[in-house]
A = this chain, B = another copy of it.
Amino acid sequence: MQTAKAPLVRPHSATGFDLKPIAAPLGIVLSILGVSMLLPALADVSSGSGGADVFLGSSAVTVFVGVLLWMSGRGARIKRLDLRQAFLLTFCLWSVLALFAALPFMWGRPHLSITKALFESMSGLTTTGASVMSGLDDMPAGILLWRALLHWFGGIGIVVIAIAVLPLLAIGGMQLFRTESSDKSEKFMPRVGAIAKGLLLSYVLLTLLCTVCYLMAGMRPFDAVTIAMSTLSSGGFANSDSSVGVFASPAVDYVAIVFMLLASLPFPLYARALAGDVTRLVTNSEVRLFLLIVAAFTLASFAQQSLQGINQGEPAFRGALFTVASLISTTGFMSVDYTHWGPVSDALFFLLMFLGGCTGSTAGGLKALRLAIAGRAVRQHLKRISYRNGVFPVRYGGVPIADDVVASVLGFVCLYFATFLAGGVALNMIGLDLRTAFSAAIACLSNVGPALGPVVGPAGNYGGLPDAAVWILTVTMLLGRLEILTVLVLVLPRFWLR
């Protein structure tokens, strides 16, 4: 047994921190982002809204830096990325990309300050969907497509990271997804490639399917494509200040409901379904728990609306289901304004935002699996303290869960609450009222987007907040998306020193 103070043996030793193996993959992804900026440029040209030059300029800068990074790292053996390099790469993928993705927001039509532009791009890449922009209905097509693309990249990015990287980093119980082979190797890249293929295919197919459904529900092609990307990524950016409520269409609402829920299910199950194993989608314990929660909350909300005479029949049911799906999937779309449902709406909001979707989905929040394990751990703990002679392993899906997994889930839940409190307190200290501060903190930590109150609620946007608050929330979105620990570990001095 090694104690904390003993020197650690590493399989391939290196003095200092070798950044080269990070540079190459980061450079490649950055170049892809740069090239993708040509799509909004094209949209601006074809719609005649004029803004293509901004995207061409941003693209040139981004691709230039991306290629430079890639070249500088080309000599390194990418396949030998070790643990701390994997941590740093994950962090850089979101933070560095957000910097370059912010360029069009600064140089182009919305002409945001660097603080707000970075918030907007981070909100896109973390699929939070909180916006500092207003007047969306009059924005050029390019900038709207760019926001949707950021969501879409961020969505597939987090699914790949959650399935291929986080389990190896043993973060918040994700080690449950560690496979036999992965346990014996510290090499990430080959694994990432193989896994990413199935996930990407599912993601593309679902997005296409969603686009077709939106078209059939009556959307313009541009709206259908961008909002499908927003839906599958659990992002929530829309092309109107009234979100998807602007369509005032039950058909659109139902399509959104279905695909928001699909985006909250574990993507590895889709990859398996593509390979022929469809049953898992129905028998998976986490999926069942998730759908059960959705059903229970929808029923409660439907009953409340009916009893208090707010809505009746189909509109009440659709409003309830839409709101529950939007909040628990952490998409943050708005169709009906649920904040007029009386005090219950605040409670609904807080509960659903903490819960979140399933692990390995594009949704944020604590996630159903962790809730299940934490709940079972507490139940087993109750049993253990009342029958002192028994040993009660925590079971999930019939399988006993190792103690260190249970501990890391409980630790993650504690840390999640602590981060929420710290964020809320920090915002409160710089002058935001309690409701705005704490709802914004959880809306960004869980990557939902819209929060509560006149400033950051569904009717407002984050543009009215002071710069300090915008920075705090930018960091909070990143912390939430990368499951906190991935970022915190970089703060340990020992991370850099050994």
Contact = CB atoms under 8 A, between A and B. Distances in A.
B494 A3 contact: no
Contacts of A96: none
Contacts of A494: 383, 386
Contacts of A169: 385
A384 B414 contact: no
The binding surface of chain A is classed by DSSP as helix
Interface stretch (A121-129, A245-253, A269-277, A341-349): A341-349
Given A350-B421, A435-B435, A3 B392 contact: yes
Interface string A377-413: 1101111111111111101000000011011101101
Contacts of A346: 428, 434
Interface string A1-36: 111101011100000000000000000000000000
A411 B6 contact: no
A411 to B, nearest CB: 5
Contacts of A84: 386
B381 A411 contact: yes
A7 B81 CA distance: 50
Contacts of A1: 391
Nearest to A344: B429
Interface stretch (A64-72, A357-365, A472-480, A485-493): A485-493
B390 A8 contact: yes
Interface in A439-498: 452, 485, 488-489, 492, 494-495, 498
19 contacts: A1-B391, A4-B390, A4-B393, A8-B387, A83-B386, A186-B388, A342-B431, A343-B428, A344-B428, A377-B411, A378-B414, A378-B415, A381-B407, A382-B485, A382-B489, A386-B494, A410-B410, A410-B414, A414-B417
Interface of A: 1-4, 6, 8-10, 83-84, 87, 169-171, 186, 342-344, 346-347, 350-351, 354, 374, 377-378, 380-393, 395, 403-404, 406-408, 410-411, 413-415, 417, 421, 424-426, 428-435, 452, 485, 488-489, 492, 494-495, 498
